[in-house]
Amino acid sequence: MIRRTLAVVSAGLSQPSSTRLLADQLAAATRDELVRRGSEVELHVVDLREYAHDVVNNMLTGFAPSALREVIDTVTGADGLIAVTPIFSASYNGLFKSFFDVLDSESLVDRPVLIGATGGTARHSLALEHAVRPMFAYLRSVVVPTAVFAAPEDWADGTADGALRARIRRAAGELADQIERRPPATGPADPFALTTDFLQMLGRGDGEPVN
């Protein structure tokens, strides 16, 4: 049985949060789909709210405090990522963006990502397409075609056969497809790994070490 890890990032600010609720539903649907296809799934859910100070400190000092470091390693080392934000002022909220700003820009390359958002009205829904999707395009992640937006009316109509549930199931299937196409993740990249040697850097392969 293949073991997969799924990182879930929620940038909801209130508690309880509808953003977290959507994140949980996306996570459960993706997990169920992967399990149905025969994988074992480990879920890691991150409420960014709990790391808000650490994220700002990371921006100011240039390094992640240890608690945030663990979260970053979990997110960048997972097989798939579900990223959900509330829409503020026509875009992701600042906490969501700040978290992705402190990641190494190479750390989510080719990573399957499912994006979701919540908002006070369905008129915010395209923010997923004009703000969230381009950010992950910059990070060279693979964002699945179905992005899931939940407006207040979706929660009011939150039955198992409602439109939101159908979108969640479709998106989860797409994320599972992308995850299954890839070998299991090997964890976060090591920023201190030496990927060259000195003579290569010096531009000559024939020199002798200096004694």
Can you give the binding site for other proteins, defined by CB under 8 A? 56-57, 60-63, 65-66, 69, 191-198, 201-202, 209-211
Q: Report the distance separating Cα 209 and Cα 193, nearest Å.
A: 21
- Smaller CB separation from other proteins, 89 or 211: 211
Beta bridge partners of 40: 3
* CA distances, 139 to each of 1, 76, 99, 108, 112 (Å): 30, 12, 13, 6, 11
Least distance between other proteins and beta carbon 56 (Å): 7
Amino acid identity at 92: Y
Q: Report the distance separating Cα 22 and Cα 48, nearest Å.
A: 15
Q: Which two tokens stand for residue 202?
A: 């010096």
Ramachandran class of 140: left when φ > 0, alpha when ψ lies in -120 to 50, beta otherwise: left
- Smaller CB separation from other proteins, 205 or 209: 209
Q: Which two tokens stand for residue 109?
A: 């390359």
Least distance between other proteins and beta carbon 170 (Å): 42
What burial class does residue 97 get, using C-beta atoms within 10 Å of its C-beta: 0-12 exposed, 13-18 middle, 19+ buried?
Answer: middle
Alpha helices, DSSP H, located in 111-162: 127, 133-138, 152-156
Least distance between other proteins and beta carbon 209 (Å): 4
- Smaller CB separation from other proteins, 183 or 209: 209
Least distance between other proteins and beta carbon 191 (Å): 7
- Smaller CB separation from other proteins, 65 or 162: 65
Beta bridge partners of 6: 43, 80
Least distance between other proteins and beta carbon 190 (Å): 8
- Smaller CB separation from other proteins, 161 or 190: 190
- Smaller CB separation from other proteins, 61 or 89: 61
Least distance between other proteins and beta carbon 82 (Å): 28
